[in-house]
Amino acid sequence: MHAQSTINKLPLVRRLEAVGFRAWPASSVQYDGSWQIRLTAGHPSKRLNSVVPLDPSDHRDLEIRLAKAQRKFEAYGRPMVVRETPLASRKLIELLREHGWTCFDETIVMTANLVDLELPDMLDHLPSHDVGRFVDASLIVDEADPALKPALAEVVSGIKPPSGLFVIENDDAGPVATTLCVQDNDLAGIMSVAVSPQHRRKGLGAEILTSALRWARMRSAKTAWLQVSADNAPALALYVHFGFREAYRYCYWQPPGNV
């Protein structure tokens, strides 16, 4: 039953993976068979630096291809990771396990029907198209290294589908919440919902998410999707409250000794 359920969801997984790649573009994308090798020298995000297998039946020359991919990651100065979705070959995952690779950072991909979604009556925030302002705000809210600004700006500027950059600012504290919504035809991806640690539990996450979803629906998006860490209970509760439900999960695999 589980195997049949997995097979039934593969078309949805393929579609969400494809829009996810377009919504968060790596600077280098290469293919080895059905494996997508994503590399971005300036940004450490695993979504931008990972091997993503895209065909469950592609399991030829696994060890040779892993070694080739490893050399590509070394050339970029990035630790090699393999992203496991339902599209990954079971033989590949078995090989990784046998060779001592470890699985980490389980993530849930969720979807919601935007057509019937009842959005709360909250203050509406209009999106900006100022990439520099949005990147600055994101780094402040996430308390991230300012040195990441050029790479993050390159990623956001490289998004080809229409996108809305949302920022909530406080008169005293400056940026306190951000989110990025990417509309790809009838799908709208919420790429991040971030609230500064000092301003959490004040409804800002719900407020900015509502604005992003309303914007996407006004642009005729029918389905919203997002990714959230499986151990982020507050975010999961927020998304479930908004009507999001699990579509599938993915995780990353790293080789022994990887840091």
- pLDDT > 80? residue 127: yes
Q: Which residue has the tokens 């590949």?
A: 92
Q: Which amino acid is at 91?
A: K
Q: Quick check: 1 pLDDT over 50?
A: no
pLDDT at 171: 86
Task: For residue 129, give the amino acid letter.
Answer: H
Position 9 pLDDT exceeds 80: yes
Question: In this predicted structure, what is the pLDDT of residue 173?
Answer: 87
pLDDT tens per residue across span 80-110: 999 999 999 999 999 999 999 999 999 999 9
Percent of the chain with pLDDT over 70: 97
When pLDDT is cut at 50, 70 and 90, the band that residue 6 belongs to is low
> Which pLDDT score is estimated for 2?
47
Other C-beta atoms within 10 Å of 26: how many? 21
pLDDT band at 123 (very low <50, low <70, confident <90, very high): confident
pTM given for the model = 0.94
**Residue-level pLDDT at 5:** 58
What does the mean pLDDT of the chain come to?
A: 95
Q: Residues 21-61: pLDDT tens digits?
A: 999 999 999 999 999 999 998 899 999 999 999 999 999 99
For the segment 70-76, the average pLDDT, to the nearest whole number, is 96
pLDDT of residue 172: 86
Any idea what DSSP says for residue 43?
-
pLDDT digits (tens, 9 = 90+) for 229-252: 999 999 999 999 999 999 999 999
Distances (CA, A) of 190 to 71, 78, 106, 163, 254: 33, 26, 18, 10, 26
For tokens 């302002």, the residue is 133
Edge to edge, the sheet with strand 223-229 lists 28-32, 35-39, 50-53, 82-84, 245-254, 102-113, 223-229, 187-195, 174-184, 163-170
Question: Has residue 3 got a pLDDT over 70?
Answer: no
Cα separation values, 178 from 11, 44, 140, 146, 204, Å: 31, 20, 10, 16, 9
pLDDT of 8: 81
Residue 122: what pLDDT? 84
pLDDT of amino acid 232? 96
* Residue 259 pLDDT greater than 80, yes or no: no
Q: Is 128 exposed, middle or buried (0-12, 13-18, 19+ CB in 10 A)?
A: middle
In order of start, what are the domains of the chain with their CATH numbers? 2-106+250-254 (no CATH), 115-221 (3.40.630.30)
